[in-house]
Structure 1
Amino acid sequence: MSQEAEDFLRELRASLLFAPDFPKRVSCSIADWELLTEGERRALDQVSLEAMQRARAAYRPWEEAVRTLGEARYTPAIPLLAQLWQDCALMPVRVSAGHALLAMDDPASYDALEWLIEDREPISVHLGIRAVFRRNPFAAFDRFAPLFAEQDITTVTIGQEVLSLFAPSMVLANGSPRWTESKAPSWFEQDPRWAALCAGLCLDERLGAPARMALRHADPGSALPALEAAGARRPLPPIPVTRAIGDLVARYRAGDHLGTWREARTFPAIAGDLRAEVAALAGETMVRAAHNVALISERLQRAGWQSLGPMRTLPEPADAARIAAIEQMTGAWLPPSLDAFWRVVGGVNWVWDCDQGAGPVVADLPLARIDTDALSIESCCAIESLCFEVWEEQKDVFHPDLIGPYLLDLAPDRLHKMNVSGGPPYAIELPFSGADPLFRQESHALPFVEYLRDCFAWAGFPHLKHHTDQAAVRRFVGILGRGLEPF
């Protein structure tokens, strides 16, 4: 095999991959990626597209050669594989190089993978973490535990991936779980600190989901004591504030739109008179939002816009019963902002129907051809009670801390809106005891009312903010957004 492996090395060195003018990958950390503009991100991604365009007809043998070197654990190939892992812009080959380095089971190959553990590409984080565990699973906790005390984008991203390693990556047709790392369950059980860490993170907003999944598939003998211990240390939930502020609605009507909602959000839990006052504030807000939805829907319809569903779905009398059913299932009031949206606005969908072709030019803008993240919020009548069925069933199976909040999906993510496979839907968590929940899994993670404000600031197409260099975009927002009511 050594001669064959050396032949593969020689072929790879002589290939287009190492030509001086072949596109080279530019490393970018998770933290730096967060600071880039949309245009700067597209420029970095363009390098991979250019590499694929140049090598589309030739890369398969290179990918296979890299894979073979890894399977053979041919350690003389580590420097070349490390270079591909660092610099190769051709993603299929780079990914194969990463997996080949992991298969080498060699300190030098693990070094190469761990070097890029903070890289912005998920595969870099994933393989870097696996390298840490494979090098020394007993030292992995000490390496990663400090990350969970921080909440910046880098530590949270790595922390989520670490915890996800302990949950199955797939479930076979017969119901048997399978882990990406077959030894991950034993790593978890051999170091009880992982169970204690996950139990303490179960209710964390960003790390709770992977922590809960890890514990669900852990030995109950280690998971349940850890959960009970974490529960005993946890502070009691906030006591709802019931006393009304008294002037929220009057101040809102006088124009203090931002200040009133900012004050309403300061209370983690509301009930009684305060909740009634916030509900009235939400009603006033959504009357203005409904005016804006109707105005833009009419203008889009006149322009020939073909949305994926009704541009506006009006509220129905039956919505009250639907809202009551959701509240009964979740055991809490619906958040006032969403409650008012459903009762006053209804639903909205300005996502272009890609089956209708390229779309009209609206105010000189080929709107359907741009990543706009068009406003879309499901109406109450589109939310079926059956969507709570699995969540309800879990209550009879798992410890309460392993259930987690219910994610109520309200809109497709921006990539699905472009008819491209993307990420999870935009959603809010239920139950929520405050005034205005975060619109989760949307990139800005704004409170729901603030998300709507951001959308209407761009005439219902908030990602136009990334195209303000185009005169047509500025004209579109000016024309379609004329006469919108501030709220």
Structure 2
Amino acid sequence: MKFIERYLGGEDSTAVYDDIYGLGKKAFGIEHFDDVQAVLIETFNRVAFNLQVIYHELNKINYVFKTTFTNNSDKPLVAPLPNSDNLISDLENAVADFGKIPLSLKLFYKIVGTCNFAWDYESQPDLLWEGADPIQIDSLDDLVVYVTTDDWKEYIRESLEYNEDEVPTLELAADYLHKDNISGGPAYSLQITRNESIDSLFLNEPNETTFIDYLRICMENCGFPGDSAFRQHQSYKDFYAKVKPQLKSI
């Protein structure tokens, strides 16, 4: 049975992805790639659908999103940019000295776009749910601007030279403390892989998992994969009870 048939048939998605990851570089071969890519496309279509549902329901409870924007990464939801293919090429060229962009991130930007469900603490300092760690992935155009600077490349080179255990990464989101307006730690960052890869590790994020699995955890928790304490708020329980049945499993 093909991977996409298993995925659409309702098999545990983690098992499907485990088998895909188990292929290694064979996942990009002619025998498997179309099938593998079909699973990822379906996954990110579901992510895009879920984010729209969550955003709609958050607006209903007057969740405080940013309303003034300096760039696309500030906006709650941005559809895929019309020049995504060109921007992804720019991104791949920028990181070529250090490795490859995982297919998962490229398809996220082509199908989902970007999202930022962080609370706007500048306009409303009292957070609705402290420690909720709302989903946030920087916009492709902002990421390209950042990594195409000489400063970024020099920073990565120095990091790799200074620490032999360091890996090149792309910073994609603030950590949970920064999202709560507390001086926090390093940004959540996707590992740039040495060779072509389906997915890679999403580093510095508390779940210590891959990018796709991070998104799965976010969807399981209606966009808020944070600590257990905030889940005791009745407002979150009510939100979860209403939203979770509407979401598609990824």
TM-score class normalised by the smaller sequence: 0.7 to 0.9
Q: 1:263 aligns with which of 7, 11, 19?
A: 19
1:416 counterpart residue number: 178
Q: TM-score, normalised by structure 1?
A: 0.44
Distance in 2 between residues matched to 1:395 and 1:296, nearest whole Å: 35
Q: Secondary structure at the match of 2:4?
A: helix
Distance in 1 between residues matched to 2:154 and 2:192, nearest whole Å: 16
Q: Secondary structure at the match of 1:427?
A: strand
1:109 counterpart residue number: none
Structure 1 unpaired stretches of 5+: 1-245, 360-366
Query: Does the 8 Å contact 2:188/2:202 carry over to 1?
Result: yes
After superposition, the CA RMSD in angstroms is 2.7
The answer to whether 1:348 aligns with 2:115 is yes
Q: Secondary structure at the match of 1:287?
A: helix
**CA 1:358/1:403 → structure 2, altered by over 3 Å: closer, same or farther?**
closer
2:39 counterpart residue number: 281
1:314, distance to aligned residue in structure 2 (A): 0.7
Q: 2:206 aligns with which of 439, 443, 457?
A: 443
Q: Secondary structure at the match of 1:451?
A: helix
Query: Does the 8 Å contact 1:391/1:406 carry over to 2?
Result: no
Q: How does 1:47-446 map to 2 (within 5 A)?
A: 247-256=2-11, 257-269=13-25, 270-273=27-30, 274-308=32-66, 309-331=74-96, 332-358=99-125, 368-388=128-148, 389-390=150-151, 392-393=153-154, 405-431=167-193, 433-446=196-209
Q: How does 1:459-478 map to 2 (within 5 A)?
A: 459-463=222-226, 465-478=228-241
Counterpart code for 1:424:
P
Query: Does the 8 Å contact 1:377/1:410 carry over to 2?
Result: yes
**CA 1:394/1:265 → structure 2, altered by over 3 Å: closer, same or farther?**
same
Counterpart code for 2:200:
P
Distance in 2 between residues matched to 1:464 and 1:405, nearest whole Å: 27
Cα deviation per residue 1:45-86 (whole Å; 9 max; x = unaligned)?
Answer: xxxxxxxxxxxxxxxxxxxxxxxxxxxxxxxxxxxxxxxxxx
Q: Secondary structure at the match of 2:228?
A: helix
1:358, distance to aligned residue in structure 2 (A): 4.7
Q: Secondary structure at the match of 1:300?
A: helix
Task: Give the structure, 1 or 2, with the largest relative contact order (CA under 8 Å, sep 6 or more).
Answer: 2
Distance in 2 between residues matched to 1:285 and 1:275, nearest whole Å: 15
Structure 2 unpaired stretches of 5+: 67-73
Distance in 2 between residues matched to 1:410 and 1:351, nearest whole Å: 13
4+ long deviations beyond 3 Å: 267-270, 274-277, 390-399, 401-405, 464-473
**CA 1:437/1:481 → structure 2, altered by over 3 Å: closer, same or farther?**
same
2:71 counterpart residue number: none
Identical aligned pairs, as a percentage?
25
Counterpart code for 1:408:
L
Counterpart code for 2:169:
L
1:387, distance to aligned residue in structure 2 (A): 2.3
Determine which structure has the larger helix proportion and give its number: 1
